[in-house]
Amino acid sequence: MKKFLVLLILAVLGYYMYDALYGIGIGIPRFTDGVKDFYLDKTVSQLHVANTVTSIVVNFRGFDTLGEVTVLFLAVTALGSILYKKRHDVGTRSILFSSSSIVRSGSKLLFPAIVLLGAYVFIHGHLTPGGGFQGGTIIATGFLLMLLAYENFKVSHTVLSFVESFAGILFVVIGLFGFMNGGTFLQNFLPEGALNNLFSGGVIGIIYVMVGFKVATELTGLIYTILHEKD
């Protein structure tokens, strides 16, 4: 009886999945004007943004980006919660690396450059390929390099939590300002500026900076927790 019920449920699910996918009509043009044409036109004429992908991700479909950031936050929080009670005291590693003076000196020299590169990537995300996720990941790799090179390199979880929380709250507040101005969530309410100018795109540049800080702090905190996990 149980096998019959399982087969029946799978058959019903399979039918509806087939019906849904068949009804999509993959490859058949569904818009005469084209969604891409709308995005390409509004990106330049309305938002004054040079990177069309950025305008879609942060403005036209900005709610999706908020969801992606939320998923990353929940994943990091869950893993951090699992490993938190297994951490060693600060400065004690479960994974040790014997680095030479050359590696330590090189890491100290490269660390500021890596952080600067990450900041550049998410600050200029609306002008060039890149953005908050990419820039934040680059910064996190800089902290990973220092953690691997220096056994006693410390990262303040208090500072990381403050920066991450502030970035997330500001992201949501900027989105709510769109409602207050009679628009939609994350709708632009600031001057668009001039095309190809750093201060262009209205709220898009600010949002990407917040995403960059949020991703950088979350990944750095996760890396630090993993390296201090007990055996």
38-63 pLDDT, tens digit each: 777 877 777 788 778 888 888 777 77
Q: How far apart are CA 171 and CA 73, in angstroms?
A: 13
Q: In the numeric block, which tokens belong to residue 114?
A: 């890596």
Q: Is the pTM of this model over 0.75?
A: no
For residue 87, give both structure tokens.
């951490």
Going from N- to C-terminal start, the domains of the chain cover 2-227
pLDDT tens digits, residue range 77-87?
777 777 665 55
Judged against a pLDDT cut of 50, whether residue 90 lies above it is answered with no
User: In this model, does residue 88 exceed pLDDT 50?
Assistant: no
pLDDT tens string 198-226: 888 888 888 888 889 999 998 998 888 87
Residue 87 gets which letter from DSSP? B
